[in-house]
Structure formats: structure tokens, C-alpha cells
Amino acid sequence: MTLLLGIDDAGRGPVLGPMILAGVLIEKSEEQTIKNMGAKDSKLLTPLRRKQIKEQIISKYKYHIEISTPKEIDKSTNLNYLEAIKTAKIINKLTKDINEKVNIIVDCPSVNIQAWSEDVQKLIEKPEIIFLSCEHKADYNHPVVSAASIIAKEKREDEMRELRKQFATDFGSGYPADPKTKEFIAKNFDNEEYNSIIRFSWKTVKKLIKTKESGQKKLF
């Protein structure tokens, strides 16, 4: 029996809300089953279809989710390394009770695949059973990574939905280019109430802070 573990992220680029990583563990023979579910890169699915496939995946396979909060992201000196830490946590969690070889496929967030792979490898608790493959566009090329992509994206959407309810405001998608997000940040980046959901290390927010400190009126 060959085991596959796919890992992917969601919410890496936004200025609001958490970054999510998810991992899905399957037997290699289940790849076609995941394909038949309609799993593909989550960006290629409608929200409804994505949710339907997610429910099928979590009901059938082992999975694990790691959340990086905005504060955790801001404290990190390197986002790629933070993602390497979270990736290793997923691997360690899902392989804890496994003694056979596991092929792990990760959608690599770094342009330097080799260096990032080495960072992950150093954090793995059972390297003797791990065969690690880090690739670009793995969510597009491997069904098990597509499954992880779907779970990560759905968790990110759930988290953002809860934040909108919690703060009773619609701040859009959380991406810097979103007009609603830009308006929300411009009005609230210096409001302590929203400190927990804003990534202050992002250029978007740094620019706003600098603009305000200089006394300029135009924030965008």
C-alpha cells in the first residue's frame, strides 16, 4: 500500500485574516476517486461545488488544518519559513501513527524549491518514512493536493465569514486590491478593535501608517 499526503495553502496573499494550510492523507489507489469527485485547484471551482467536494473529502479521508493568525504572520521574520513550519506540523500530525513510507506532495510557496524543501525536511519528526516532493502548481497537477487546496480554501472562507459576523462589517475578500478591503483598512488600521485581523507587516498597511504619520490626506 502506497500512501500519499497532499498539502496546500490558502490566504497567503491577503492583508486581512488568517493563512490556512491543509493536508489530506490517502492511499494512492484513491487518486481516481478524488478525481471523480471533481477535485481540482480550488481557484477553478465555484464556491458551491468547492463546498460539496470538501464535504466528501473530509468524510472519507484523514486531514489536518494549520492556521496562521495575522499576529503570528507579523511576528514571523519570513513567511516562507512560517509556512515550512506549518507544513511540517501537518506532516508530523498525519504520519504520527504510520510506520510505512509516505509520499508527500506540497504546493511550494517559494521560488527556491530546494531551499524550502530542506527547511521542511529538517522539521519532520520521522524522516525515515518520508519521501518529500515540493512543486509549483502541485494543486493543479496532483488530485491529493487539489483536495488539500479545497479544504484550505473552505476553511479560509469559513474563518472570514466568522470575522464578518464578529465585527458586523463587510470588509470584502481581504485581498489588498479589493475596494471594500482597501476602504476598511483605510478607516480602521489604527483602530485597536481590529488589530487581530489586520496584517500590519503588509506593505498596504505600512504605507497607510507612513502616510498618516506624514500628515498626507490621500491614503490611496
Domain boundaries, the chain: 3-164, 167-214
CATH of span 167-214: 1.10.10
Residue 20's pLDDT is 98
Cβ atoms of residues 78 and 72 within 8 Å: no
Burial of 113 (0-12, 13-18, 19+ CB in 10 A): middle
Secondary structure of 32-45 in the HEC alphabet?
A: HHHHHHCCCCHHHC
Distance CA 73, CA 18 (A): 8
Residues of the chain with pLDDT under 50: 219
**Within the chain, what is the greatest distance between any pair of CA atoms?**
65
How much is the pTM? 0.93
Name 209's Cβ contacts closer than 8 Å, sequence gap at least 6.
189, 190, 200
The CATH number of 3-164, from 3.40.462.10, 3.30.420.10, 3.40.640.10, 3.40.50.300, is 3.30.420.10
Distance CA 112, CA 189 (A): 33
Which set of grid coordinates corresponds to residue 209? Answer: 501608517
Burial track 154-173 (b if 16+ CB lie within 10 A, e otherwise): bbbbebbeebeeeeeeebbb
Residue 216's pLDDT is 57
Distance CA 89, CA 12 (A): 17
Beta strands in 62-194 (DSSP E): 62-68, 102-107, 130-135
In 3D space, the residue among 48, 38, 30, 4 whose CA is nearest the CA of residue 138 turns out to be 4
Distance CA 34, CA 139 (A): 13
